[in-house]
Chain A
Amino acid sequence: MDAAWAALSLSLKVAGWATTINLILGVAVGYALARLRFPGRDLLDTLLTLPMVMPPTVLGYYLLVLMGRRSWIGAWLYDGFGINIIFTWQGAVIAASIVAFPLVFKPARAAFEAVDGQLEQAARVLGISELGIFFRVTLPLAWRGILAGVLLAFARALGEFGATLMVAGSIPGKTQTLSIAVYEAVQAGQDDVANTLVLITSAVCVVVLMAAGRLAPGRIANR
């Protein structure tokens, strides 16, 4: 049982970090794509959406190649800072962040695009700085759409399997997340452990989906 709770707490830690990272990066990228006109914008949007459709194992392989010690980035991190990403829970965070990223930036972009530009102009004429406009007008009006995406990303990060296994492996108590623990339990014929893990995972996902449903844009009071 202890192993199950260790897996759950690790999963929550990884998903929490991945969601926090995505909240900041996803909102920033969503806003940039909604507001800035630059060549290659559509291509960038497509590339950033790829994790949604690509097999997680393929993503994991990309990450291994990019961040393994033999790679340029991996060697730089290890030689310069002594940081190793592969087979660590931080590696699992990176894998989960990338897999869940489209679920945040896509709704964020749509939410920012839905904000009436005239309201921002009104604030501008009223003497409010551009940063003030973002925090007082744009973000509050886009907030619900963003939050719904963030919750979905949390659920997705919590269930991440393929890319995480490739990058972080399955070290019990260290990188073995809930969904990987389920796989290992079934492989080892420990059906009672698998049952517990599956029930825990299902309960957490139902809670997250219900929360996301309450925040979905369609449910906003019309104001």
Chain B
Amino acid sequence: MQLDVDIRKVLRSGKRTFHLNVRFNASSQRIVIIGPSGAGKSLTLKAIAGLMTPDSGHIRLGGRTLLDVQAGINLAPQARHVAYLFQDYALFPHLNVRQNVGFGLAHGWFNPHERDRHATVDQWLDAFHLSVLAQQFPHQLSGGQRQRVALARALVSQPQALLLDEPFAALDPALRGQMRGELDALQRRLQVPMVLITHDPQDARVFGEQVVQLHDGAVHDAFEAEELSA
């Protein structure tokens, strides 16, 4: 998948200003953006999803122009067909697991009923070993289970790319390794292109076919995975 990012944004909070000036061109199924906190990783990922609008620049994903400020193109998040895995998963607290997973499949004004069955949802619940938890609510789940629900919810509508914001940061170290393995296997099985942001070099070693290094709002370096392990 081709990901072409060239964005600029100035953020002010109080007296501090932060300049985001990110420019990279990646072509791989597994892209990792790595950098310390405050480097602008989350902002970059949010810009790709349409949750943050840059002041200028463009974003192209798999041949589609998601954003081109100069040409006046700015697709709504709803129209970008990407999935976003939030750091703390952002599961809907008032909906059970089944309703959370099926959320994106129902487009009306109301949520599907607690017991509404949907073949696609069932299939994803099965694939993520969530069937027995279908009636549970997010606050009743463990960290790993929450992540599985969030992944299933993200993938159920067959997005063109999966964006992951520090997917393992909220997990304890033992679970982290296991979930890394699960995500690795899942991505290989589904072949869904992914963009993952992290501050953990281990994530880059496992997922980084291509690695973009951010520092202070700008691209520090971009390289292939082989160089990282060398």
Contact = CB atoms under 8 A, between A and B. Distances in A.
Interface stretch (B2-10, B30-38, B108-116, B123-131): B108-116
Contacts, number: 71
Interface residues of B, number: 31
Contacts of A135: 109-110
A108 B91 CA distance: 23
B201 to A, nearest CB: 27
Nearest to A122: B90
A222 B77 CA distance: 30
B157 A126 contact: yes
Contact of A223 (B51, B88, B93): B93
27 contacts: A118-B86, A118-B90, A121-B51, A121-B77, A121-B84, A122-B92, A124-B51, A124-B76, A124-B77, A125-B50, A125-B51, A125-B77, A125-B82, A125-B83, A126-B103, A126-B104, A126-B153, A127-B81, A127-B107, A128-B104, A131-B109, A132-B108, A135-B110, A136-B109, A137-B92, A140-B111, A223-B137
B118 interface: no
Contacts of B83: 125-126
B64 interface: no
A195 B83 CA distance: 65
A108 to B, nearest CB: 17
A119 B92 contact: yes
What is the interface of chain B mostly: helix, strand, loop, or mixed?
loop
B94 interface: yes
Given A116-B90, A223-B94, 15 more contacts: A118-B86, A118-B90, A122-B90, A124-B51, A124-B77, A125-B78, A126-B83, A127-B81, A128-B107, A131-B109, A132-B108, A132-B109, A135-B109, A140-B94, A141-B93
A6 interface: no
A128 B107 CA distance: 6
